[in-house]
A and B are shown apart, each in its own frame.
Chain A
Amino acid sequence: MTDRHNEMQDIPEAVSEPRRRFSVQLVWIIPIVAAIIGLSIAAKAWIDRGETITISFKTGEGLEAGKTKLKYKDVMIGEVKSIAISNDRSHVVVTAEVSKDAKGLMVKDTRFWVVRARISGGNVTGLTTLLGGSYIGVEAGASTELRDHFVGLESPPAVSMDVPGRQFVLHTDDVGSLYTGSPVFFRRMQVGQVIATDLDKDGKGVSVRIFIRSPYDRFVTTDTFFWHASGVDLSVSPNGVKLNTESMLAVLLGGISFEQRPNAPETQAAPANTAYTLYATHDEALKNSVVSEKFALQFRESVRGLAVGAPVDLRGVTVGEVTNIDVTLDRSRSDFSVAVEIQFYPEHLLSHLHAGREGLLPSPGSVQTHKLLDDLVAHGFRAQIKSGSLLTGQLYVALDFVPGARPARIDWNAAPPRFPTVPGSMEKLQKNLTEIVQKIEKLPLEKLAGDAGHTLRSLDDTLKSADQLLKNMDRSLVPEAKSVLTETRTTLEDVRKTLTEARGTLGGASQVLSADAPVQVDLRDTMREVSRAAQSLRVLGDYLEQHPEALIRGKKEEK
């Protein structure tokens, strides 16, 4: 104990001081500050919290929860939080959180689409998505009605809402090489693009929705026509080979061109969403821009080489085209006839007739037009098939006045009205040939030859007797030279008699050989016919030798 006490003595005494009052530890500031920081962060998060929206898409391709961003004008405004499949499994529902400042964008007509790399319409979009992955593009709507569920677009809107311009609808048979984003050209300048292509409800055509940027949209008037500017238009027609191209961009990627109808009067700009027909080519558009009239033509001859689209030609001017070719059975005549339907643009014709009197142009289908056509037909205006090109063997329908045509008239009651026709040149040639052959066949060549032989034999006999007579005369004259003078008179008488006889004989002969002798006439006619036939055959032969293809393709048009 003492030891311990001693040890304790060694230990120095602490310096004492009166106890201070208990004070609050300053350290408590730390948790208070932490709490304030935590609360302020929580409060900020709560204030800044975004809005949760859902967007439904057909597929979730390229979308990833927690990664895919929502971008408005390429600025990130939100992020995909989760992707779920809808209850009916038909689409995916994307839940996304949109930042606070973009909350106002989430209105009724805001559009969403998935931005992926696309190469279309001559422009490459979304290239960054190749590396960075897809994102959801947002386009703000104009509405003020807030929404939190949206249906996403399957393809990016071709035209953003804030670009001024107007939309139009084009109807066509097939969409060709058009797709969303295809350019629309006006005078080969791009002024718009295709924003949608849709099959018509009945499946019989395609509706193409296009957008023309302002201010070019004012060039779309009620008189505008549209055609496919896609690709290269190589056409082989009776006019030859024709190559038509649009701008290189259109050639490569397709597109639509439009143009004002030529000579169109000043027209108002068409209202938005006006429907137009989209024609295959510029030519077709030009042809169809005029209202047409349909006619049916009936031919008994072969129309091999006549195709739908073949021109209807009036002295070299195309005034229509063949729209349909059909074979019909004519029961009353037990024969087939070919019904060719043509589309005739009387305005082409009439406008020429009425040049300079535009106001008086009878519109197609009107009574005036009918009357005019009736008049023309009465004067021999007919349709016939002609060979357009020896090279391609194509036929066309020619309209012209045919002299000596049988009277006919247009059957306006038929639908479509029936236009009178005359056989074409090929048929005429065939008919002539057949007739010639038939005539040759009919000739009694053997009998004629026999008759001729007989006639020649009797002529020979006559000549022989005449020869004998002369010989006799000679014989009786020489030995009795001296008595010649005495007997001259008698001899002369004899001679005269003989001569008279000879004359008679010769008269008989000449009677036989006279030009108007029936045999002679027959023979001559026959010979002439034969020679004509031979000539025709030679001509045909020559022609066929030079143009053997005529047997297949028909005769070349006479120049």
Chain B
Amino acid sequence: MTAPAPIAASRGLCSCHVCQLVSRRDQRAQVAHCPRCGARLHFRRPGSVQRCWALIIASYILYIPANALVMMETGSLISYRKDTIVSGVVHLWRTGSWMIAVIVFVASVAIPLLKLFSLTLLLISVQRRSTWSPRQRTRLYRLVEAVGRWSMLDIYVVTLLAALVQLGSMATVKAGPAAVAFGAVVVLTMFATMEFDPRLIWDPLQKEEFHD
């Protein structure tokens, strides 16, 4: 890359998050407001990295109970089961429902974990002002953002079953404590993804730092 393409921030331009009005802004340490709607103006999402870290750490913490605790309790005349996510996958696999086992595993174990790892990787690379293949990292970010809501699959299944299967002593399905933790993980990672400012990936190429 010879001459880096000009970016808004390097020209002292800043767009409003709310009304998308582009306005000039003094680069020096000052808090600026949108001249049109009055919203606060930032060159970059303020505290993006920090917030993102906080949410990801919280997700990491909650990921443990989400997998260790009981996700779903199914009781029927014949049997009574308490399944964690992994034991459910194992059960599905053993009983021959390989496709469903794979889907549940991917949606409930692999994707949240990959999201967490991807965000961690992005955050570390951003903090280290790494210039390593920003295009790939951006693509990764897009993927994380796109896939985010789909890892709620387990929660959907559990909530649907818990609502539908209530036949007294014949059969009952109850959501376990892991469902809450798992839901929290999914939501927190989604927030973390939202919080992350992908522009930060490209900033190291500008040899300038932008605050606020």
Question: Complex: how many Å from CA A8 to CA B31?
Answer: 20
Instruction: Determine whether B14 belongs to the interface, using a CB cutoff of 8 Å to chain A.
Output: yes
Question: Complex: how many Å from CA A34 to CA B81?
Answer: 27
* CB within 8 Å for A34 and B61 given contacts A14-B14, A14-B34, A15-B33: yes
- Of B47-55, B107-115, B126-134, the segment with at least 4 beta carbons within 8 Å of chain A is B47-55
Closest to A8 in B: B24
The listed residue (A11, A18, A27, A67) touching B22 by CB distance below 8 A is A11
The answer on a CB contact under 8 Å between A41 and B69 is yes
Instruction: Determine whether A124 belongs to the interface, using a CB cutoff of 8 Å to chain B.
Output: no
Closest CB of chain B to A541's CB: distance in Å? 82
Closest to A66 in B: B87
Instruction: Determine whether B18 belongs to the interface, using a CB cutoff of 8 Å to chain A.
Output: no
* CB within 8 Å for A16 and B31 given contacts A11-B24, A28-B54: yes
The answer on a CB contact under 8 Å between B35 and A13 is yes
User: Which residues of chain B are near A131, meaning CB under 8 Å?
Assistant: 77-78
The answer on a CB contact under 8 Å between A25 and B25 is no
Question: Complex: how many Å from CA A223 to CA B183?
Answer: 75
Instruction: Determine whether B11 belongs to the interface, using a CB cutoff of 8 Å to chain A.
Output: yes
User: Which residues of chain A are near B80, meaning CB under 8 Å?
Assistant: 69, 132
Could you tell me which residues of chain A, from 10 to 38, have a CB within 8 Å of some CB in chain B? 11-20, 25, 27-28, 30-31, 33-35, 37-38
Closest to B41 in A: A14
Question: Complex: how many Å from CA A67 to CA B94?
Answer: 14
Instruction: Determine whether A364 belongs to the interface, using a CB cutoff of 8 Å to chain B.
Output: no
Instruction: Determine whether B204 belongs to the interface, using a CB cutoff of 8 Å to chain A.
Output: no
The listed residue (B23, B47, B81, B184) touching A13 by CB distance below 8 A is B23
Instruction: Determine whether A238 belongs to the interface, using a CB cutoff of 8 Å to chain B.
Output: no
The answer on a CB contact under 8 Å between B65 and A38 is yes
Question: Complex: how many Å from CA A20 to CA B30?
Answer: 8
* CB within 8 Å for A132 and B35 given contacts A14-B25, A25-B54: no
Question: Complex: how many Å from CA A30 to CA B58?
Answer: 6
Could you tell me which residues of chain B, from 58 to 106, have a CB within 8 Å of some CB in chain A? 58-59, 61-62, 64-65, 69, 77-81, 87
User: Which residues of chain B are near A31, meaning CB under 8 Å?
Assistant: 54-55, 57-58, 61
Instruction: Give the total of B residues in contact with A, Cβ under 8 Å.
Output: 43
From A12, A30, A69, residue with most partner B Cβ within 10 Å: A30
Question: Complex: how many Å from CA A150 to CA B66?
Answer: 35
The answer on a CB contact under 8 Å between A33 and B35 is no
* CB within 8 Å for A16 and B26 given contacts A27-B51, A132-B77: yes
* CB within 8 Å for A27 and B50 given contacts A34-B61, A38-B62: yes
Closest CB of chain A to B171's CB: distance in Å? 12
Question: Complex: how many Å from CA A41 to CA B67?
Answer: 12
Interface string of B1-42 (1 = CB under 8 A from A): 000000000010110000001111110011111111010010
The answer on a CB contact under 8 Å between A16 and B32 is yes
Question: Complex: how many Å from CA A28 to CA B53?
Answer: 9
Instruction: Determine whether A362 belongs to the interface, using a CB cutoff of 8 Å to chain B.
Output: no
Instruction: Determine whether B123 belongs to the interface, using a CB cutoff of 8 Å to chain A.
Output: no
User: Which residues of chain B are near A8, meaning CB under 8 Å?
Assistant: 11, 24
The listed residue (B14, B24, B25, B62) touching A37 by CB distance below 8 A is B62
User: Which residues of chain A are near B173, meaning CB under 8 Å?
Assistant: none
User: Which residues of chain B are near A27, meaning CB under 8 Å?
Assistant: 47, 50-51, 54-55, 195
Question: Complex: how many Å from CA A12 to CA B57?
Answer: 40
Question: Complex: how many Å from CA A132 to CA B76?
Answer: 9
Question: Complex: how many Å from CA A35 to CA B58?
Answer: 7
The listed residue (A15, A28, A35, A38) touching B35 by CB distance below 8 A is A15
The 6 listed contacts between A and B (C-beta, < 8 Å) are: A14-B26, A19-B30, A27-B195, A66-B87, A132-B78, A132-B80
Beyond A12-B24, A27-B195, 17 additional pairs, beta carbon < 8 A = A11-B24, A12-B35, A13-B25, A14-B35, A15-B34, A15-B38, A17-B30, A19-B30, A25-B47, A25-B51, A27-B55, A30-B54, A31-B55, A31-B61, A38-B61, A41-B69, A132-B78
Interface residues, chain A, CB within 8 Å of chain B? 8, 11-20, 25, 27-28, 30-31, 33-35, 37-38, 41-42, 66-67, 69, 131-133
Closest 6 CB pairs of A and B: A34-B58, A14-B32, A31-B58, A14-B25, A15-B33, A31-B57
